Chains A and B, each alone.
Chain A
Amino acid sequence: MASVEFKSVTKSFGDFKAVSEVNFNIGDGEFVCLLGPSGCGKTTSLRMMAGLETPTSGQILIGGDEVTHLHPKDRNIAMVFQDYALYPHMNLADNIAYPLKVRGEAVANRHGRAREVADVLKIGHLMDRLPSQISGGQQQRTSLARALVYPAKVYLFDEPLSNLDAKLRLEARGFLNHLQRDMGMTAVYVTHDQAEAMALATRIAVMDQGKIVQYASPIEIYRRPATTFVANFVGNPPMNLVEVDGTQAGGQLVLKGEGLAMAGLPMTDAIGNALASSSKLTLGVRPEHLSLTAAGATNSISAPLFANENMGPESLVTIDRGEGARVTARIFTDDHLHVSDQVSLSFSAEHVHLFDAMGKRIPAVGE
């Protein structure tokens, strides 16, 4: 197991910068998720770690050694591909044992080892089958087995669960979580599914437009998203973002917006700095921190009901503030609400997130 470090790594394809001046390091034994929408550079970053792309500039270190221009085969890493890349002409045993074959292991040894790994992954009984003869979940585990069959410094995962249906994905996620804790492996895991990242990662690097926007533990990212982008990406449903106008009045911050009724918030230097450049702020509240309230309550937001989705234990109540600006609340009641009813949702001041005009988080008191 080894650490991974990026030193101002840039990757351009022509004029397009897929990854731009990225710096970060992954500690030994960490499970890091690269999270972001498609095209954000997360897969390119992973492929540069694997050696499948060469950085335009910057350095990549694995275990403290520079590997920037090292051929993938010389990096001693393992990787699970999104499409599994199982060799259609080899049976499962040969597929799983292939890394051992190129390492010169004897047939008996490598098949024995492959069988051990396969048994752990509960595909041991399928060793004679071809990849086309097994299910998608089994294929996924086969590709996992092929990565696990030899001790690698770093394990790379490129959206390995995205081709599975919801139930299998949940199952595989749990298994990976268990495995990581068991093996203590260094892993880098690319995904666009925030739930997967939250569940698996010790740290998450949220990427947008070739840059790392925030690199922190899942709980930190959930509690203190660094930008509106992160706030909007993490959480299910994501954080509600309301554009507001902020003014300073009597040592307090007063926020005004359509249907918004709020008490003043305590001023900080950071707020002052933000207001100095623009009065346009963004107010963020997570759906789970909203609850139904009577009209006109303080710290509430009101608008006509747009949708009420019953999810079993909870309901998702969405109100429409016009022009597509909607606010969703997660509520553990089954009140009967009707479309176009005026609904007010309240929140407490401690759950308020503020972002400046550039979308950057304004630290709350005590952060």
Chain B
Amino acid sequence: MKNRMCAFALGLIGASAVAVPAFAVDLDITCRCVIGGVNSATAEWLEEQVIPAFEAANPDINVTLNQFGGEDAQLTQQLALDFSTGAGPDISAFDGFLIPAFAEGGQLKSLDDLIGEDYANWEGWDHISPGIRSIMSYDGETYGIGLGTDVRMIFVRKDLLEQAGIPADWQPTSWDDVLDAARKLKEAGVEAPLQLNAGVAMGEATTMQGYWMALLGTGEGVTDENGKFIVESQGILDVLNLYKTIYVDEGLGDQRAQLLADGRNRSFANFRDGKTAMLVEGDWFYRSVTAPGSEFEVADRGNVMSWVKMPAEEPGSAIRGQDFVSISGGTGFVINPNTDAPMEAWKLLSFMMSKEQMTAFQDYQPGIRSRSDVPIPNNPFLTETSQTLLPLTTARPNDPNYNAVSQEIQRMTEAVVSGELSPEEAMAQYKAAVTAIVGEENTVSLL
């Protein structure tokens, strides 16, 4: 919806309805992707593969890719503004956990409302599992199509483990195992052996790769089975104490990396440079961050880098009684609720998500795709991790307040990691903040 024409209507306040010429439609698609920069593969796929193919098939539709170079949170700000007023791109990349908040705010319309029959009859739904479809859904309605999903684990430096005398086939089965290994590594001279994300600067990466991965191991989630937010519990305290042990009491992790604005990159660099031996991250870390040719490429990766499952606090103490945990998120694409050309936008969206285009995407960046008819490429890492971890994985609560609560989680971890507050004090602060966000009736205390 490039409102070029509206420039002529300057001064005519309220002239928001733009006539769409019957003979040609302009579609804009935005993602946090820059060719040669952030998420380059997605940008290349769209620009080189999807758009030319789509325009060839639909000569009356022009598609433009807007490469957004800022941060995730900044794109969220723009989209929230745009989708509430009718500005913005026709199609945008979108993180699934924001769907509930946007849907409640009227900043997204369900595909059923927006498209109707064509949406319901799309062939792709037969190849997308309900679990994956739910990533881009809220309250029983579907708002977009997921591109894929991911899993989380502990990445390890085998060379450093070996130095510390830890066997090559090491798989921790409790937090203590992990901490013991970290202590040994520290003694062996590894500066900051363990990285469990914390702090505000890393945003959702703190919640997903840090807090959730630990919390699930205590058998709890951010919400209980009734969808109420847990604001006080032994699980929360255990997680905060784990952070305290790692970063404050024993110095097993790089405290600076949790607190500084560019901390996440520092943690990547630590892993690359052998200063960190265990790092909790998503499969993206393997597929993209440490991949050959990238900035954080790990030299001799095949021999040096491996991964283990994230253990529960104690064996069997994890959620659903599991021994190991993982959590998954997912991104996809949504349609602007105020687009002038919903049908054309849907045409493009479903084209992008067709088997043919998704398969082509695997050539740009292999990953776990949402369509079951798009095979995971012949990639041992992805095959193994998806087979091992997808059965164990969990999804975030589908709640419009999740985003705000997640930020409180980040603050709580930062308060502990910086040594400013004790776990009890930090949890008390968290309780007050979450209660203010969701209302007391939507919270629950397990203490």
Are A and B close enough to touch in the complex, i.e. CB under 8 Å?
no
Give residues in B with beta carbon < 8 Å to A. none
